[in-house]
Structure 1
Amino acid sequence: MDYKKIADEISQKILSYHEDTSGWKVAKSTNNIIVSWKPSTEYSGSIYRGEGIIEEVPEKVIPFLYIDEHRNKWDKSLKHYSILEHIDQDTVICRSITDSHGMGLISSREFVDLVHIRRYEGGVVTTNGISIDYEKCPVNSSNVRGFNYPTGYICSPLPENPAHSKLVVYIQTELGGLLPRAVVESALPNNIISFITSVQEEIKKFYQDNSRMDYKKISDEISQKILSYHEDTSGWKLAKSPKDIIVSWKPSKEYSGNIYRGEGIIEEVPEKVIPFMYIDEHRRKWDKALKHYSIIDRIDQDTVISRSITHTYGMGLISSREFVDLIHIRRYDGGVVTTNTISIDYEKCPVNSSNVRGFNNPCGYICSPLPENPAHSKLVAYIQPELGGLLPQSVVESVLPSNVVSLIINVREGLKKCYQNGN
């Protein structure tokens, strides 16, 4: 299935709904939410439009709406929501099961949707979705399968207050089963109002809970440091160079050890390489250095908190370590995609006696298209970990070059398998 083509087509349709202001009729309105409708051009029912103001910027609103660990907490209309697969950085396949609604007139429904995030000029961020057949989640007798025709959210900064957003929701849903269309149409306006109200209320609570640590400020600072490491080509000394991978080092400015740089060619474009390296369902499969890896929180579309536990390495000299890291994805001109990482204290994952807690000083990956072959990339990895415990620094330094080589080799091999399998 050509997910990119589908995502492009649906994004264009959602934009066309937004630009066509004719024919809408008010179905229901509250003090600050308006729901309108008109006949759908996709099926025999109606398309509904809900409009409301959200007291956050679009780049914070949209991730809150579709990322599973957020949506499961706030969306009262769903009894299950999960992301089944990440197609790329901005495209996922998700599964949702609704609660019954309309005072029990409409039983729960299951949806499997392709959802694509797209940005436009002026800080506008959108989701663009449609139901699909997905072989890993077939229709079964446990749930009535519904179908979402092109649906989406368009979130735009308010001109009079750019720290707030206007959220516009478009839905056109076939619920399946034997429900009369009139029953469905009578319930949908209330559902949209409840949805927008839940977003307005819950997003305030979420960002109040996360305001104690300024993740954006940290992300900006670490991104700047990783870029500075990349631009400063002086002082690097060769540590290891098997075949077509080069590992270099120089004294770190962050701690008493060294910073290591690994360089290698990856046969994929940066926009495929970087998600593969940090998204948990991929990394758990390819990174042989880790016995556990999970994303434990998503701060926004491009920022996550991860937890990783290493295997022992250095022939058992170094026991397993646990890291809790802030990871921020940043893009630059010319198709360059980067990760920018530092270990943090995170109250939901405190230090415990089960694992030695390590600390990653600013580290990251910079992935750039090869000028001579833009379908391939040059990957440069920067690492400078403090492993904690009572290990002599010399033991740590002796094994890190081999670990960097193994990382790049594992990425190459894992990527080939992943995209050969159609992911």
Structure 2
Amino acid sequence: MTTFAADYQAKADKLCETVDELMSRENWEAVEDKDGVLVERMNSSNYDGYMFKMTFVANMSLSDFMLVTQPKVLGGEREKWDTEIKGITILEEVTENLKIIRHETTKFGAGIVSPREFVLMVYQKTIPETNTTVQVMESVEHSECREKDDIIRASRYPTGMYVTNDGESSSLKVVVLSQVDMGGLIPMSFFKNLLPFMVVSYPEDLPKYLQIIKS
């Protein structure tokens, strides 16, 4: 491994530790618990807003789950159903499991939020002892993608997803941690108040998205 790759790997390992610590905290506040989906929040120390944790069960195989939830550059087909993705490109492939990507969105939130871009370090690994797939990401700077005046650069702070199969069933336990500063002039209250209700139906819709991909 080159020094460059080793430096990024060290950052990715540290990010895994940070996400694990945040997910393990005990003082999360439940804000929505509906149809088997628990959404919790906690004040973020990175920006003036909340970080959110969502826990649910996905009744599908790991391969199908990743196909639905991941974009093409990460081995999935999410672009086939997610209309909020304008484009995702790889800026740098550090290793097979560690990439720097640029993600541009369309308008969303009923058109209230204009397009945004993210530059993200994304790392994925497997923990064999618990049969868990871990994916973590956070915003980074990259020489191939400087900020531009015609689009707002949003920031994703330590974020992660744990997907675990207990080995006894076909279902998956999924825990997602998200903390995003969308930037711009949209009031933070918009995201604080609406986000839990925007995401709570997502797990229920996964089989529908899978059908769209495979049709």
TM over 0.5: yes
1:9 partnered with 2:17? no
1:152 pairs, out of 142, 160, 164, with 160
Equivalent in 25, 29, 37 of residue 29 of structure 2: 25
Determine which of 133, 142, 162 is the counterpart of 1:125.
Answer: 133
Q: Does 1:90 align with 2:94?
A: no
Q: Which residue of 1 aligns with 2:151?
A: 143
Q: Rate the CA distance shift 1:72–1:15 in 2: closer, same or farther, 3 A.
A: same
Give the 3 Å change call, closer, same or farther, for CA 85–148 of structure 1 in structure 2. Answer: same
Matches within 5 A, 1:275-314: none
Residues 1:101 and 2:105 are matched in the alignment: no
Shift of 1:113: 0.6
Give, in whole Å, the separation in 2 of the partners of 1:199 and 1:88.
29
Out of 193, 197, 210, the residue aligned to residue 203 of structure 1 is 210
Give 1:50 shift. Answer: 1.4
Corresponding residue to 1:113 among 120, 141, 150: 120
- Superposition deviation, residue 177 in structure 1: 1.2
Cα displacement string for residues 41-70 of structure 1 (whole angstroms, at most 9, x for unaligned residues): 333321101122222233553354334251
Alignment deviations for residues 200-233 of structure 1 (CA, whole Å, 9 cap, x no partner): 4323554x66xxxxxxxxxxxxxxxxxxxxxxxx
Report what 1:80 is aligned to.
Answer: 87
- 1:273-312 Cα shifts (integer Å, max 9, x gaps): xxxxxxxxxxxxxxxxxxxxxxxxxxxxxxxxxxxxxxxx
- Using a 3 Å threshold, how does the CA distance of structure 1 residues 24 and 162 change in structure 2: closer, same or farther? same
Report sequence identity in percent: 23
**Structure 1 residue ranges (4+ consecutive) displaced by more than 4 angstroms after TM superposition:** none
Instruction: Quote the offset at 1:199 in angstroms.
Output: 3.2
Equivalent position SS for 1:118: strand
Cα RMSD (Å) of the superposition?
2.3
Aligned to 2:170: 163
Deviation at 1:13, TM superposition (A): 1.4
Deviation at 1:36? 1.2
What amino acid sits opposite 2:104 in the alignment? Answer: I
Give the match's secondary structure for 1:162.
coil
Task: Find out whether 1:56 has 2:60 as its counterpart.
Answer: yes
| Residue 158 (structure 1) shift | 4.3
Counterparts of residues 228-247 of structure 1 (less than 5 Å): none
User: Which of the pair has more CA radius of gyration?
Assistant: 1
Kept after mapping to 1: 8 A contact 2:90/2:101: yes
Name the amino acid aligned to 2:130.
G
Cα-to-partner distance string for 1:311-356 (whole Å, 9 max, x where unaligned): xxxxxxxxxxxxxxxxxxxxxxxxxxxxxxxxxxxxxxxxxxxxxx
Matched residues in 2 for 1:58 and 1:41: separation? Answer: 32
**Aligned 8 A contact 2:23 2:53 in 1:** no
C-alpha distance 101-113 of structure 1, shift in aligned 2 (>3 A): same
The amino acid across from 1:56 in the alignment is: M
Structure having greater relative contact order (Cα 8 Å, sep ≥ 6)? 2
Unaligned segments of structure 2, at least 5 residues: none
Distance 1:27 1:78, change over 3 A: farther
Distance change >3 Å, CA 124–CA 165, structure 1 → 2 = same
TM-score (norm 2): 0.83
Q: Structure 1: which 5+ residue stretches go unaligned?
A: 210-423
3-state SS in 2 of match to 1:27:
strand
1:6 match: secondary structure: helix
- Report the TM-score, using the length of structure 1 for normalisation: 0.45
- Aligned residue for 2:14, secondary structure, equals helix
**Cross-structure match for 1:192:** 199
Report the number of matched residues: 206
Equivalent position SS for 1:187: helix
8 Å contact from structure 1 (residues 57, 162) kept in 2: no
